[in-house]
Amino acid sequence: MGSRSSHDLETDVAIIGGGTAGLNSAMAAAQAGCRVLIVDKANIVHSGAIAGGIDHFMAFLETGEPWDTREAYLGWVGSVARGAADLEVQEAVYCDELKEALERVERIGVSLRQPDGKIFRTAALGQPGPYAINFDGKKLKPKMAIEVRRRKCRVLNRVQVTNLYLHDGELAGFTGFDIRSGDFYRIRAKAVVIATGNTNRMFNAQVGNPFNLWYCPANTGDLHRAAFDAGVALANMEYVRMTIVPKGFSTPGFNAFFGMGAQLVNSLREPFMKNYHEMGNKAPRNFIVWGALQELKEGRGPIYMDCGHLKAKDLEHLFRTLGIDKDTLPEFLLAKGYAKDGAMIEMTVSEPMQARPSEVCGSGIRIGRDCASNVPGIFAAGDASDQMGCLHMATAGGFAAGRHAAAYAKKTAHRRPLATKAMAEEQARVFRPLERKSGSTYREFETIVRQICSDHFGPVKTELSLKAALEKLGRLDAARDELKADNLHELMRTHEAMNIHAVSKISATAALARRETRFPPYHYRADYPLSDDENFCGLMVIQKQPGGDVTTRLDKLRYAG
C-alpha cells in the first residue's frame, strides 16, 4: 500500500464533485477571477451521471409557440412539480441562465443540432410541448473537462471528500483521501460548491448487481451526509425515484422511446397508460412507473415497449441514437433480437434511488436564489441540491452556483482555520477500517442496508414500515465501528456504505414526516394515500441541530390555480 502522505491546500472556491454541475460551477468561478480547485472521487473526464454520454437537453426556446416561453415553462413547472419546486429559485437558477447555458454547450464543442443542422425536439414526461432537444452529447463530459483546464482550474481526481468543517458557524474547509495512494487532504476554501449528485445503491437493483444501476453507482450521498452533519438543511429527501428500463438492462432510454412515440402495453398487448393519466405515455415519469407497477400487480405483466407502429424514419432515428447515453444498449437490444423490427421490448420498473421526484427540481441541499445553503460559504448545485436536476439545470444552475460562490469568496477577506484536533480525529476515523484485522465488510453492511430500505420504503411506505426501517437502520449504528477494509478500494467503498446508511435514515425520517402521498409511487404512503395540499404543499426540510437532534419542518409553497 506504500506510505501515505498528508497535504494542506488552500483555494478561493472549491468544487466538490466534478460532474456536469460541478464543472459548470468551476467555469463560472474561474471566469469571475477566483482560484478554483475541483475535487472528484473519480476522473472528471468520465465521471458522474453523464459519463457514458447524454442526449436530451430541456429548454424553452421562445419560438413563438405558446408553450415555448419562460412563463409557460414556469407555469408547467409549478403544476408538474407542485410542492417540490420553488419557482423563485427555478427562475433564478434556470430561466435566467438558460440562454447562456445553451451557448456555452455549443462553444465548448458540442452541437445541440442534428447532422442536418436542425434542432430536433421531442416531448415526454408530461411536457406541454417538445421541450427536449435531442442531441449527441456523447463527448459533452470530456469537452467540459478540457474547458475547466483551459480556464486554469486545478483538478484533484480520485480524491473522496469525507467531511466538511466550519469555524464560528461558517465554512472553513473539508477533508478527503486519495483512493489510490491513500494520501490525506486538508483543504481550506473561502467557499465550496457541493455538486456530488444524488444517492444510489440504497435499494435492491433490478438485475441483482448493486453497481448495475440506472444512475451513477459512485454517487452515494457522501456530501449529503457530510453537509447534514455540519448543520446544512436538506429538502425533498423523502422521494424515492424510479423509472422504466428494459428488463435485464439498467438503462433508461425512457425519454428517447416515449419522445419518439413508443407506447407501453401489457401482456394482453393493451396500451394501458391512459388508464392512469390523461397524457398516456407522455405523462410525467412517476405516473408511468405507477401505471407499470399497477399492471404488474394486477397480473397483466410482463409489460412491453411497443415500437411497432412507429414510422420507419422515427424507428431509425430512435435506434441510431439509443446508444448515446449507454453504449451497450443497442447491442443488448440486438442480442435480444429486438432491433430487427423495433417492436415489443420487455420492460420493467428500475431500482428505486433517493432523488428528485420530477425532472424540474432536485433533492438534497436546500438552496435559495443564490444557490447558497443555510451555512455561510456552502453552496450547492445539480442533483445534490433541492432545486436542480437533469442536464438542463445542472448546466444552467451549476454555472449560477459557481458565480455566487465566487462573489462570496471575493468578499471574504480570510480563509477560516481548520482545527488541528478535528483534522487528526478525521484522519484516524477515515483510515481506521484499514487497521481492523477482523470485522464485517462493506458488502455485508451495505447489503443489509439495501434490504431494509427495499423491504420498508421502496416504493410503498407506511408509518409502521418507516418506523421499522428506522429501528433496524439504527441497530446497524454499532456495526459501523466494526467495518474492516483490506485495501484502499475497499476503504472508499466502506465510507460509501456508511454514507448510504446515513442517507437512508434521513430519507426515512423525512418520509415519516410527510403524512400524505405525493408523486406516487415516489412518496406513496399507503396509510395516507391521498395528496394533502392544504398541509403538505411545500418542501420537507430536514436538519441536524447543534445539539444533534434531527428536526423536520415544512417550507410551504403556494401556487396559483
Ligand X SMILES: Cc1cc2nc3c(=O)[nH]c(=O)nc-3n(C[C@H](O)[C@H](O)[C@H](O)COP(=O)(O)OP(=O)(O)OC[C@H]3O[C@@H](n4cnc5c(N)ncnc54)[C@H](O)[C@@H]3O)c2cc1C
Quick check: 219 binds ligand X (CB under 6 A)?
A: yes
Q: Could you say whether residue 222 binds ligand X (CB under 6 A)?
A: yes
Q: Looking at 20-28, 66-74, 165-173, 276-284, which segment touches ligand X (CB under 6 A)?
A: 20-28
The residue whose grid cell reads 477482523 is: 438
Site for ligand X in 390-409 (CB under 6 A): 390-392, 394
458 near ligand X, judged by CB under 6 A: no
Q: Measured at CB, which residue is nearest to ligand X?
A: 19
Q: What is the DSSP annotation of 43-76?
A: -GGG-STTTT---EEE-----S-TTSSHHHHHHH
The set of cell numbers assigned to 305 is: 415497449
47 binds ligand X (CB under 6 A): yes
Say how many residues make up the chain: 561
Q: If binding is defined by CB under 6 A, does position 500 make contact with ligand X?
A: no
User: What minimum distance in Å lies between the beta carbon of 466 and ligand X?
Assistant: 26
Q: Which of residues 59-78 bind ligand X (CB under 6 A)?
A: none
For residue 389 the three cell numbers come to 436536476
3-state SS class at 237: coil
Residue 56 or 456 having the CB closest to ligand X: 56
Sole binder of ligand X in the list 126, 128, 210, 252 (CB under 6 A): 252
What minimum distance in Å lies between the beta carbon of 43 and ligand X? 8
Pick the closest to residue 175 from 375, 8, 3, 35 (CA basis).
8
> Contact region for ligand X (CB under 6 A) — 146-154, 335-343, 384-392, 505-513?
384-392
Would you count residue 16 as binding ligand X (CB under 6 A)? yes
39 is a contact residue toward ligand X (CB under 6 A): yes
Which of 289, 281, 237 lies closest to 259, judged by CA?
Answer: 281
Contact window for ligand X (CB under 6 A) among 213-221, 280-288, 399-407, 508-516: 213-221
Cβ count near 380 (within 10 Å): 35
Q: Does 382 bind ligand X (CB under 6 A)?
A: yes
Give the binding range for ligand X (CB under 6 A) out of 192-200, 469-477, 513-521, 553-561. 192-200
Segment 93 to 112, residues that bind ligand X, using CB under 6 A: none
Determine the straight-line distance between the first and last CA of the chain, rounded to whole angstroms: 62
In whole angstroms, how close is the CB of 480 to ligand X at the nearest point?
17
Interface with ligand X (CB under 6 A), residue from 13, 14, 15, 21: 21
If one asks whether residue 11 binds ligand X (CB under 6 A), the answer comes out as no
Q: Which stretches of 81-202 are DSSP H helices?
A: 87-93, 98-107, 140-150
The window from 304-312, 340-348, 387-395, 477-485 that contacts ligand X (CB under 6 A) reads: 387-395
Return phi, psi of residue 178, to 5°: -75, 120
Q: Taking the complex as a whole, how short is the minimal distance between the CB of residue 213 and ligand X, in angstroms?
A: 8
Going by the DSSP 8-state scheme, the letter that residue 282 receives in this structure is: G
Write down the least CB distance from residue 326 to ligand X, Å.
6
| Helix (DSSP H) and strand (DSSP E) numbers for the chain | 17, 22
Cβ-based nearer residue to ligand X, 162 or 509: 162
Side-chain-facing half-sphere of 348: CA atoms under 13 Å: 13
Q: Does 255 interact with ligand X (rule: CB under 6 A)?
A: yes
Does 295 contact ligand X by CB under 6 A? no
Which of 11, 12, 18, 138 binds ligand X (CB under 6 A)? It is 18
Contacts of 531-535 with CB under 8 Å at 24 or more apart are 533/82, 533/83
Contact between 160 and ligand X per CB under 6 A: yes
Of 97, 325, 351, 446, the one binding ligand X (CB under 6 A) is 325
Distances from the Cα of 28 to the Cαs of 10, 187, 301, 397, in angstroms? 19, 20, 49, 11
Enumerate residues 6+ apart whose C-beta is below 8 A from 391: 20, 50, 54, 56, 57, 58, 137
Listed residue (45, 28, 62, 12) closest to 394, CA to CA:
28
Q: Residues 18, 402: contact at Cβ < 8 Å?
A: no
Q: Rounded to the nearest whole angstrom, what is the least distance from the CB of residue 306 to ligand X in the complex?
A: 22
Q: Which residue has the cell 435492491?
A: 204
Stretch that binds ligand X, among 39-47, 310-318, 332-340, 441-449 (CB under 6 A): 39-47
The one among 55, 97, 238, 351 contacting ligand X by CB under 6 A: 55
Of 101-109, 239-247, 377-385, 467-475, which part binds ligand X (CB under 6 A)?
377-385
Out of 11, 90, 175, 196, point to the residue binding ligand X (CB under 6 A): 196
Q: Does 380 bind ligand X (CB under 6 A)?
A: no
The set of residues, in sequence order, having a beta carbon less than 8 Å from that of 469 and lying 6+ positions away, is 452, 453, 455, 456, 457, 504, 508
Joined grid coordinates for residue 219? 454517487
- Cα separation, 259 vs 253, whole angstroms: 10
Total binding residues for ligand X by CB under 6 A?
A: 44
Using CB under 6 A as the binding rule, whether residue 50 contacts ligand X is answered as: yes
Indicate the pairing of strand 460-461 with strand 524-525. parallel
Among 161, 189, 260, 406, which residue sits at the site for ligand X (rule: CB under 6 A)?
Answer: 161
Look at phi and psi of residue 17 and say left if phi exceeds 0, alpha if psi is from -120 to 50, else beta: left
DSSP code of 511? H
> Least distance from C-beta 130 to ligand X, angstroms?
14
Q: Is 27 in the site for ligand X (CB under 6 A)?
A: no
Longest dimension (CA), the chain: 68
Binding site for ligand X (CB under 6 A): 16-22, 39-42, 47-50, 54-56, 58, 160-161, 195-197, 214-216, 218-219, 222-223, 251-252, 255, 325-326, 382-384, 389-392, 394
